[in-house]
Amino acid sequence: MSTVHIGLGANVGDREATIRAALDRLRAHPRVEVKAVSTLIETEPAGGPPAQPGFLNGAAALETDLEPHALLDLLKEIERDLGRQRRVRWGPREIDLDILLWEDQIVQTDRLTIPHRRLAERRFVLEPLAEIAPDARDPMTGRTVEELLKGLGGT
């Protein structure tokens, strides 16, 4: 079993209910165990079209024996089932599920990059992740999530 950390986000519709529904779907999967879920935090959109609604963001720790691309496929299926519509890049979304860290693995394919490309730059990802996994390490930098968050300043 591998420990995987994912990001959770939504800024359209009943954001909390949609995030909770995604977590319920993950809990119901026979090859995924949800080990921890962070507090959900309200954040401003980072980039994307102007005047979009604020996000609700969080993080979860999973244990799974799925391979990275199989988990990605599961996350995309959950997004589709919960009504995610791809309108515009970095635009509003009903649900967004991203693989952030997969233990010490580095994966770079045309479909998947682990650790997440912008992990070290995004407070809205690092704050909830630091709540549940402050000592998890970014295998690209060797720094912990807590160190990455402190490196953003103001924390």
Active site residues: 84, 93, 96, 98
Query: Residue 22's beta-bridge partner residues?
Result: none
Rounded to whole angstroms, the Cα distance separating 129 from 58 reads 7
Contact in structure between 26 and 60 (CB atoms under 8 Å): yes
* Integer Rg of the chain from CA: 15
Specify the DSSP class assigned to residue 96.
E
Rounded to whole angstroms, the Cα distance separating 110 from 46 reads 23
What are the DSSP calls for 1-13, one per residue?
Answer: -EEEEEEEEE-SS
